[in-house]
Amino acid sequence: MSEIDVGVVAEQIAESDQISEPSGAPELGRPRRRKEDGRLLTGRTRWTDNLSRPGLLYVTFLRSPMAHARITRVDVSGAIGLPGVVAAFSGRDFADEQGSLPCGWPVSEDIVIPDHPPMAVSEVRYVGEAVACVVATDRYRAADALEAIDVEYEPLPAVVDMREALSPDSPKVHPEGNKAFSVKIESGDVEAAFRDAPVVIDRTYVQQRLIPTAMEPRAVMAETDGDSYTVWSATQIPHILRVMLAVITGIPEHKIRVIAPDVGGGFGSKLQVTAEEVLCLLLARRLGKPVKWTESRSEGNMTVHHGRDQIQHVRLAADADGRIRGLRVDLLADMGAYLMLVTPGVPLLGAALFNAIYKMDAYEFGCTGVFTTKMPTDAYRGAGRPEATFAIERTMDELAAELGLDPMEVRRRNWIRHDEFPYTTVSGLTYDSGNYEAATDRAMALFGYDKLRAEQADRRDRGDPVQLGIGVSTYTEMCGLAPSRLLGEARYAVGGWEHGSVRMLPTGKVEVITGTSPHGQGHVTSWSQIVSDALGVPFDDVTVLHGDTAVAHKGMDTYGSRSLVVGGVAVLKACEKVKEKARRLAAHLLECSPDDLEFHAGAFQVKGTEQRKTIQELAYAAFTAHDLPEGAEARLDSDATFDPENYSFPHGTHLCAVEVDTETGMVKIRSYVAVDDVGRVVNPLIVEGQVHGGIAQGVAQALFEEAVYDADGNLLTTTMADYLLPSAADLPAFVTDRTETPATSNPLGVKGVGEAGTIASTPAVVNAVVDALRPFGVADVRMPCTPERVWRALEGAGR
Amino acid sequence: MIPAQFDYVRPGSLAEACAELAADEDAKVLAGGQSLLPLLRLRLAYPSKLVDVGRLPELSGVHDRGDHVYIGAMTTHDEVIRSAVVTEGCPLLALATATVADPAVRHRGTLGGSLAHADPAGDLPAVVLALDGVLVAGSEEGEREIPAAEFFVDYLETALRPGEVLAGVKIPKLGPGWGFHYEKFHRTAQAWAIVGVAAAVRRADGAIAEARIGLTNMGATPLRAAAAESALRGAELGDQVRQACEMADEGTSPPADLHAQPDYRRHLARVLTRRAVLAAAGSP
């Protein structure tokens, strides 16, 4: 087999894009292949681990093998003096300067935020917590030297189960106890809704713990130059990280530069301020030399923050015709050992979504955050919203089963009709737009719903060992995080605005700076499309800079499907300002009033004449500044921030058909249809990619993934052989389509698509599994629905 | 991959390789590396020296030797799948090898490495056991033949002696009238088998004349489903086969892990054996 020349591949990708795309059509809505893909797919790019500095040293961390223990002694002297070892430190060596890792979302008055030293000093509280580190001239010697460090632990009892953790005689994770916080939200008369309700569905669901597993492991490099510092990190949040590093270490903010080079996926796991980032910065300062740390996959499984991990008690009261009277939700949310950046906020991001797309008069939500001796949880694709959507969509299917109704019919009787928007829900959100009927009708038609139901009935009649199940998920979510005012009301530490800059270069090319920080989303491509249409410049004439606090000086970074909805709009607004400057300049040069000019195809033209100036000519005129209007500055650039007035609310209908082998318990997805409404679409290819990846990740929660700790708090799923990720071979071809109901809360009409697939798909799959098994007396299967769990559910139901 | 330090040698002959191994009991054979390198990466193994046998001419090649097929130990999984000698002479091996992991692993991993590693969750040990393969060990003294039934001694333990290297495997050809199937049960395409069943079946007059069944991941070693094999002799397709396959888990001691408890593995062994036998008999 011949060698693949990655350079040639990159060129081919770039060329095929130019060949396949006709010019002249509007860019918005065009399926542009991504400008980034050539370098990202070939790996010839700036992954943090690809970067180096002269004299670079390598850091490794010694991690606790115990879930809970007092550290009685750390002796690093055995490592010092080994070949290549430059230094070795314990947590105590940094106790005075390492500070505490931040929690930026103190959700309640009663919240307990324990001290969280980046390197443990006196006690460890989860397996994998750093207790010491080695700095060496290469990573092999750094890893070898860890084995020469001697740590003595005095074991303390592990706290693994959330319910047991809350019992009064449970061992304590922190001296303050195991309750991190409690929150209660009430709307309407819940007592009345449940009193004499003809139907009450009472269910408890377990949202298993997940490991985000970005393709690129975390990596950090830090360097000092006098009193200034540069930190490169595979992070989603360079701007927030910079502020936090300044606050934690006391290094003045203006002396810290943070760079997020190309970042290979995050799914929320790189929305964090990590121990390793703080310690690499401090090690660079202590040693006066550049240092780098890159995690291994097993290290990552233990120490990248985990996702989900809730126990959800859901009670739904309904009338005999299926109309919902009220909903009660009680959550236990596993915080793990500490509260990290947004740990306590994650379950609350779902608090207003349990009522979903349904009308009801009464709602009650309670959540208790619980400390355990496990890796902290935090944001993971969807963050709180997949959990809420799963609970309500599973419960709607249970309501339908209880009443003997089709699950879609129960939903139709309860959802908000398209002519009722804008609609303020029982939990207080105002959904600006949507059309659940249209998305559902389209999905049902693509799926062949009635035909599959007929096949299901036939298989049931025949007693086929392979049964068919059909699952429904009619979801909505809130994203585009977020209106700063609402975030403030929710006690979130920072705002939700975004920043964009646009500057015309002398040759008419455009440089865009965005405060969002892409890690696979394709911002460079989408932003180029927005700018191309707004300024009438060719797609290829736009470049987009990001992820470096010295270049993109303002930003709130990328998470919560916010980049396009907030950051893309900020770029659009900056373009509008540039265009206004250009208009005044054109009017001056063409000796007319700005109002006499029409802007079309990248040029200002005097109405009714052939006189015109292109935006490129104006850029050059601004550069030379030989003939500017009175008082005008010599620049054709501008910047803007955008702070949305409301969240955005993507929605859609996902339908899943599974075949369940009742002999073995194996579940196979037979077909999957997703019709999503993400508002206006900038790039259909990118939207499609997000939907496909999102569904895969949601299916993974339903069928494959689970982080498992044993009773002693040891993580058992430290490798990919134990933590199962599905690949393309394990997934069906997804059928996707869209309806387009523009958002009214931003001028682009976009809603965001980063999390929708993940939020929608998990309940669709599990509903399908349960639907297949219901005739056997099975009413639920805990996720992931492994073959063994399905088989045991059938055995337990007595078939 | 950040393993601990080790020495590396690439001997030019099998004899040289055996001498290296005989001289250092902490030395390990490096074949395709698909099992050894993960152990090094996780620092679960600290060999003093890796003896790379990947390019030894004595260990390569697939040969049709009349009544059996001889496969050199360093033949990669991908080469096995693509070899006409294998697909014609011992198709069961090709069927099972095609289910191993993913294309990247199949291009590096070798048949000999998989057999010598002797992981009972690997697909190929059970196949070679079911086919009554004979393993050929090389050493400074020459070659020694070990029947598969004696080769797999315990979990990750074989009858190879210090200083011996697995040189190849002889797979007897089964005559006309035989059908084959490998039934692998795993949660994702790249995952290990929770249980696997390798079946070779000879049909005569609408019944099973003879069956050979190898079980993957049902004990510390690959196992033959001996009770089911004898009950299948003369069984008619249908209820008799079904009843015979109910004995498939007799004499097994399946492991417990994250993916399955022993009772579930026993159940799977029975169901999958029935499916494998019927498929091999051309009656799915």
Query: What is chain B's percent helix, strand, coil content, to nearest 5?
Result: 35, 25, 40
Q: Quick check: bond before A601 cis, omega within 30?
A: no
Tell whether A717 and A608 lie within a shared domain. Answer: no
Spatial contact of A153 and A62, defined as CB atoms under 8 Å apart: no
- B3 contacts on A by Cβ (under 8 Å): 140
- Is the predicted pLDDT of residue A11 greater than 80, yes or no? no
List, in order, residues 6 or more apart from B107 with CB less than 8 Å away: B76, B77, B78
- The separation between CA B246 and the C-alpha centre of its own chain, rounded to angstroms, equals 24
Instruction: Encode pLDDT of A360-386 as tens digits.
Output: 999 999 999 999 999 999 999 999 999
**Chain B residue at shortest CA distance from A661:** B271
Question: Is the CB of B188 less than 8 angstroms away from the CB of A725?
Answer: yes
Of A140, A298, A724, the CB nearest to B191: A724
- B42 contacts on A by Cβ (under 8 Å): 298, 719
**Chain B residue at shortest CA distance from A724:** B188
- A140 contacts on B by Cβ (under 8 Å): 2-3, 5
Split at pLDDT 50, 70, 90, the class of A23 is low
Tokens matching residue B190: 């790249």
Gap from A730 CA to chain B (nearest CA, Å): 6
Q: Is residue A198 part of a domain?
A: no
Distances, alpha carbon A569 to alpha carbons A322, A481, A521, in Å: 41, 13, 16
Neighbouring CB atoms inside 10 A of A50's CB total 12
In DSSP terms, which residues pair with B68 in a beta bridge? B65, B172
Question: Which CATH class, in words, describes the domain spanning B179-280?
Answer: alpha beta
Gap from A293 CA to chain B (nearest CA, Å): 13
Of B2, B189, B271, the CB nearest to A663: B271
Of A722, A727, A730, the CB nearest to B258: A722
The number of domains in chain A is 4
Q: Is residue A315 part of a domain?
A: no
Instruction: Encode pLDDT of A739-765 as tens digits.
Output: 999 999 999 999 999 999 999 999 999
Domain ranges, ordered by start, for chain B? 7-51, 62-171, 179-280
**Chain A residue at shortest CA distance from B102:** A729
Q: Does domain B7-51 have CATH number 3.30.43.10?
A: yes
Gap from A255 CA to chain B (nearest CA, Å): 34
**Chain A residue at shortest CA distance from B1:** A296
Split at pLDDT 50, 70, 90, the class of A24 is low
Gap from A715 CA to chain B (nearest CA, Å): 12
pLDDT of residue A6: 47
Q: What is the mean pLDDT of residues A186-206?
A: 98
- Give the residue carrying structure tokens 């070659």: B143
C-alpha dihedral (A565, A566, A572, A576), degrees to nearest 10: 130
Tell whether A764 and A620 lie within a shared domain. Answer: no
Question: Is the CB of A722 less than 8 angstroms away from the CB of B264?
Answer: no
Tell whether A132 and A230 lie within a shared domain. Answer: yes
CA atoms within 13 A on the CB side of B94: 16
Tell whether A770 and A752 lie within a shared domain. Answer: yes
Measured CA to CA, the distance from residue A372 to residue A310 in angstroms comes to: 12
Q: Is residue A300 part of a domain?
A: no
Spatial contact of A57 and A287, defined as CB atoms under 8 Å apart: yes
- A708 contacts on B by Cβ (under 8 Å): 258
Tell whether A659 and A739 lie within a shared domain. Answer: yes
3-state secondary structure of A723: coil
Q: How many CB pairs under 8 A join A and B?
A: 53
Question: Is the CB of B187 less than 8 angstroms away from the CB of A787?
Answer: yes
pLDDT of residue B30: 97
Tell whether A140 and A288 lie within a shared domain. Answer: yes
Question: Is the CB of B187 less than 8 angstroms away from the CB of A786?
Answer: yes
Question: Is the CB of A140 less than 8 angstroms away from the CB of B5?
Answer: yes
Tell whether A152 and A273 lie within a shared domain. Answer: yes
Sheet with A734-738: strands ordered across? A466-476, A651-661, A667-677, A734-738
Tell whether A540 and A572 lie within a shared domain. Answer: yes
Specify the CATH number for the domain of residue A535: 3.30.365.10
The values of phi and psi at residue B9, to 5°, are -130, 150
Q: What is the mean pLDDT of residues A83-101?
A: 98
Question: Is the CB of A788 less than 8 angstroms away from the CB of B42?
Answer: no
Instruction: Encode pLDDT of A221-264 as tens digits.
Output: 999 999 999 999 999 999 999 999 999 999 999 999 999 999 99
Instruction: Encode pLDDT of A67-80 as tens digits.
Output: 999 999 999 999 99
**635-664 in A: which are within 8 Å (CB) of B?**
663-664
Of B102, B187, B267, the CB nearest to A724: B187
Question: Is the CB of A298 less than 8 angstroms away from the CB of B42?
Answer: yes
In DSSP terms, which residues pair with A70 in a beta bridge? A123, A154
- Is the predicted pLDDT of residue A352 greater than 80, yes or no? yes
Split at pLDDT 50, 70, 90, the class of A18 is very low
Neighbouring CB atoms inside 10 A of B103's CB total 9
**63-122 in A: which are within 8 Å (CB) of B?**
none
Of A144, A716, A788, the CB nearest to B261: A788
Question: Is the CB of B191 less than 8 angstroms away from the CB of A721?
Answer: yes
With a pLDDT cut of 70, the percent of chain A lying above it is: 97
Tell whether A790 and A693 lie within a shared domain. Answer: yes
Spatial contact of A652 and A677, defined as CB atoms under 8 Å apart: yes
pLDDT of residue A325: 98
- B102 contacts on A by Cβ (under 8 Å): 727
Tell whether A447 and A515 lie within a shared domain. Answer: no
The full length of chain A comes to 799
Gap from A573 CA to chain B (nearest CA, Å): 47
The sign of the dihedral angle between the CA atoms of B122, B127, B128, B130 is: positive
pLDDT of residue A799: 72
pLDDT of residue B284: 59
Q: Is residue A148 part of a domain?
A: yes
Q: Quick check: bond before A422 cis, omega within 30?
A: yes
The vertex-B14 CA angle with B11 and B16, nearest 5°, equals: 50
Query: How would you class B229 by CB atoms within 10 Å of its CB: exposed for 0-12, middle for 13-18, buried for 19 or more?
Result: buried
Measured CA to CA, the distance from residue A337 to residue A314 in angstroms comes to: 26
Q: Is residue A246 part of a domain?
A: yes
Mutate to test the interface with A, among B245, B257, B261, B264 (most CBs of A within 10 A): B264
Q: Is residue A197 part of a domain?
A: no
Mutate to test the interface with A, among B42, B82, B187, B273 (most CBs of A within 10 A): B187
- B8 contacts on A by Cβ (under 8 Å): none
- Is the predicted pLDDT of residue A95 greater than 50, yes or no? yes
Q: Does domain B62-171 have CATH number 3.30.465.10?
A: yes
Q: Is residue A351 part of a domain?
A: no
Q: What is the mean pLDDT of residues A420-430?
A: 98
- A726 contacts on B by Cβ (under 8 Å): 188
Of A144, A296, A730, the CB nearest to B4: A144
Task: Name the residue range of residue A511's domain.
Answer: 497-642
Mutate to test the interface with B, among A703, A785, A788 (most CBs of B within 10 A): A788
Question: Is the CB of A788 less than 8 angstroms away from the CB of B259?
Answer: yes
Split at pLDDT 50, 70, 90, the class of A25 is confident
Gap from A716 CA to chain B (nearest CA, Å): 8
Q: Is residue A513 part of a domain?
A: yes
CB distance from A4 to chain B under 8 Å? no
Gap from B68 CA to chain A (nearest CA, Å): 30
Query: Chain B residues with CB-CB distance to A under 8 A?
Result: 2-5, 38, 41-42, 102, 185, 187-192, 194, 258-261, 264, 267-268, 271-272
**Chain B residue at shortest CA distance from A725:** B188
Show the DSSP H helices in A376-522 as ranges.
385-403, 407-414, 436-447, 449-462, 484-489
Question: Is the CB of B188 less than 8 angstroms away from the CB of A724?
Answer: yes
- B192 contacts on A by Cβ (under 8 Å): 721
Which portions of chain B are predicted below pLDDT 70? Answer: 284
CB distance from A628 to chain B under 8 Å? no
In DSSP terms, which residues pair with A569 in a beta bridge? none
Instruction: Encode pLDDT of A764-786 as tens digits.
Output: 999 999 999 999 999 999 999 99
The last residue of a domain, from among A294, A316, A337: A294
Q: What is the mean pLDDT of residues A5-12?
A: 50
Gap from B12 CA to chain A (nearest CA, Å): 25
Q: What is the mean pLDDT of residues A699-715?
A: 98
**Chain A residue at shortest CA distance from B190:** A727
- B259 contacts on A by Cβ (under 8 Å): 786, 788
The vertex-A702 CA angle with A395 and A700, nearest 5°, equals: 150
Question: Is the CB of A791 less than 8 angstroms away from the CB of B264?
Answer: yes
How much is the mean pLDDT over chain A?
96
Instruction: Encode pLDDT of A476-526 as tens digits.
Output: 999 999 899 999 999 999 999 999 999 999 999 999 999 999 999 999 999
Tell whether A522 and A651 lie within a shared domain. Answer: no
pLDDT of residue A20: 38
Tell whether A539 and A528 lie within a shared domain. Answer: yes
